[in-house]
Chains A and B, each alone.
Chain A
């Protein structure tokens, strides 16, 4: 299959050589591979953007999951911000609350857009709708944010993994946060190379993160990991825009993530058998939710 890029180096080189945005390279590749028109592709992405907007709105009104493990935190965060005493700053907390909102909707079996997965669906929209208030992008720039995220995610999915069962949470929220970071750079007017730096810095700081959902539910700790993924993305974007670079190139960070995922014991890859899932409280919550029947015992 002919593709315009197979790794981040090729993606950045092509964008810089042709004087194009990373989102543009992604759109061109999509047209090439699927034989669809630009208009058609842009429209589909706009529909995804709308789903994300609606999920955030719904989450900010307050939702609760069936298990009762998650819900309502997005509302708490917004109320706290309105009091005006936040320490980490409104943009960061806004991103965090909107990431949480999306994942709370997901946990409540609401409609979301996977980015790149459902368990990590909060980070990209959370950061987008927070950064939006500062950068005032056009609708097209917001759609492009998703293509830029997608371009980096495409590389990770094909060269490593975006599945928690295969590579742990670093492959899901780690990838999502790094994708968001790269997209923030483009929206803020940074260079393709800076997108790559932001991606590398973010992913480096999420390496090794295991997937250990309590009771096997996409709730604890998934919702809060999306929150922290969003904050990682925003901070790393600021670092890259300030001129900070990653000593380890982006593609090598992705390879390292894959290697770490391969070496991860299965207890830490979405089996609900290790980590937080295996803590006394994790086990207690599990038996409470499933009425004594312990899921994950294999019996």
Chain B
């Protein structure tokens, strides 16, 4: 079931005009910001399908930039996100694409700064709900509705067990988990949605585990 809570239907509280094209877009931007872990310096935003056709009218562009600045769907600052971005030193560019995608409301967000860059694909599935479908080339499915941990690691035996054991030690329950890899023995990704928030201590311990390259968390 894609929609789990009554507040997916009666909600979100948001700045208009469109739940999928404004609120959903803001959420996609905000998850990208969360995954990147800090405010990016630049953003290239590729829009597909209905996003590409109607983004100006729905303020999809303003909303995504607002999300990248960490604004929630109901944050009044979304209206002036372009001005805020200029003040905060975020360069952005929108690229409407004509290529076919599976979902009509799709955005690929490539963000970065002098240290690193990241690519993420998000879809807005209606009523403000979103899913993240790709991260740095890894296919995944992440709702952004629950706290989640993303672990980039080498594809070696024991990695998944070690991470699960560590979460068990801190009494953190796994609600949903997906693992994927680029090629056997190559780089791999764990996406773990959990029921409790994950604190800094747990994050630190996860990073110390063997064959783990990167650990990121997304707050609720």
- The residues of A with any CB-CB pair to B shorter than 8 Å are 1, 3, 6, 26, 29-30, 33-35, 41, 44-45, 47-48, 51, 65, 105-119, 121, 124, 146-147, 149-151, 153-154, 157-158, 161-166, 171, 179, 213, 215-219, 266, 269-273, 289-290, 295-296, 298
Complex CA gap A7/B49 in Å reads: 30
By a CB distance below 8 angstroms, the chain A residues around B11 are 48, 113-115
Is the CB–CB distance between A154 and B54 below 8 Å?
no
Neighbouring B residues of A111 by C-beta, 8 Å:
13-16, 74, 76
When chains A and B are docked, how far (Å) is the Cα of A31 from the Cα of B4? 11
Q: What CA separation (Å) do A75 and B96 show in the bound complex?
A: 38
Assess whether A26 is in contact with B6, with CB atoms less than 8 Å apart: yes
The CA of A110 and the CA of B52, in the complex, are separated in Å by 23
Q: Is the CB of B54 within 8 A of A270?
A: yes
11 additional contacts, CB 8 Å, given A215-B57, A266-B104?
Answer: A112-B16, A113-B10, A113-B11, A115-B11, A153-B10, A161-B126, A166-B125, A166-B126, A219-B17, A290-B56, A295-B57
Question: In the complex the two chains form, is A162's CB within 8 Å of B127's CB?
Answer: yes
**How many chain B residues touch A (Cβ–Cβ < 8 Å)?**
44
Q: Which residues of chain B have C-beta atoms less than 8 A from A271's C-beta? A: 49-50, 53-54, 104
Question: In the complex, how many angstroms separate the beta carbon of B133 from the nearest chain A beta carbon?
Answer: 15
Contact B16 A105 (CB under 8 A): yes
Say which one of B18-26, B136-144, B155-163, B186-194 lies at the interface with A.
B18-26
Q: How far is the CB of B197 from chain A (nearest CB, A)?
A: 14
Q: Which residue of A lies closest to B50 (CB)?
A: A165
User: Which B residues are in CB contact (< 8 Å) with A171?
Assistant: 126
Are A270 and B13 within 8 A (Cβ)?
no
Closest Cβ of chain B: how far from A178's Cβ, in Å? Answer: 12
Q: Are B58 and A112 in contact (CB under 8 A)?
A: no
> Is A150's CB under 8 angstroms from B79's CB?
no
Closest Cβ–Cβ distance, residue A274 to chain B (whole Å): 11
Contacts of A216 in B (CB 8 A): 53-58
Listed residue (B15, B16, B128) with the most chain A CB atoms within 10 angstroms of its CB: B16
- B116 partner residues in chain A, CB cutoff 8 A: none
Complex: A41 Cα to B15 Cα, angstroms: 22
Contact between A163 and B13, CB atoms less than 8 A apart: no
What residues on A are CB-neighbors of B5 within 8 Å? 30, 33-34
* Partner-A contacts on B (CB < 8 A): 1-20, 22-23, 49-50, 52-59, 74, 76, 79, 96, 98, 104-105, 125-128, 195
Q: Which of these, A65, A108, A146, A298, contacts B53 with CB under 8 Å?
A: A298
* CA of A293 to CA of B105, assembled, Å: 22
Contact A165 to B9, CB < 8 A, known contacts A157-B2, A219-B17:
no
A157 with B126, Cβ < 8 A, contacts A33-B5, A271-B53 known? yes
Going nearest first, the 8 A-B pairs with the smallest beta carbon separation are: A216-B54, A163-B126, A216-B57, A106-B16, A153-B9, A218-B17, A150-B6, A118-B19
B14 touching A298 by the CB < 8 A rule? Answer: no
CB distance from A78 to the nearest CB of B (A): 21
11 A–B contacts from the bound complex (CB under 8 Å): A30-B6, A44-B7, A111-B15, A112-B16, A117-B19, A164-B20, A213-B57, A216-B53, A217-B58, A271-B50, A271-B53
Give chain B nearest CB distance to A118 CB in angstroms.
4
Q: Which of B13, B53, B58 interacts with A47 by CB under 8 Å?
A: B13
The residue on B at minimum CB distance from A159 is B1
A146 nearest CB neighbor, chain B only: B10
Enumerate chain A residues within 8 angstroms of B17, measured Cβ to Cβ.
65, 106-107, 109, 118-119, 217-219
Chain A residues whose CB sits within 8 angstroms of the CB of B20 once the complex forms: 117, 163-165
Contact A166 B127 (CB under 8 A): no
* A115 and B13 within 8 A (CB): no
Residue on B with the closest CB to A214? B57
Assembled-state Cα–Cα distance A115/B76 (Å): 20
Asked if A272 and B57 sit within 8 Å, CB to CB, the answer is yes
Docked pose: A154 CA to B12 CA in angstroms:
14
- A125 vs B207: C-alpha distance when bound (angstroms): 48
Which of B17, B23, B195 gathers the greatest number of chain A CB atoms within 10 Å? B17
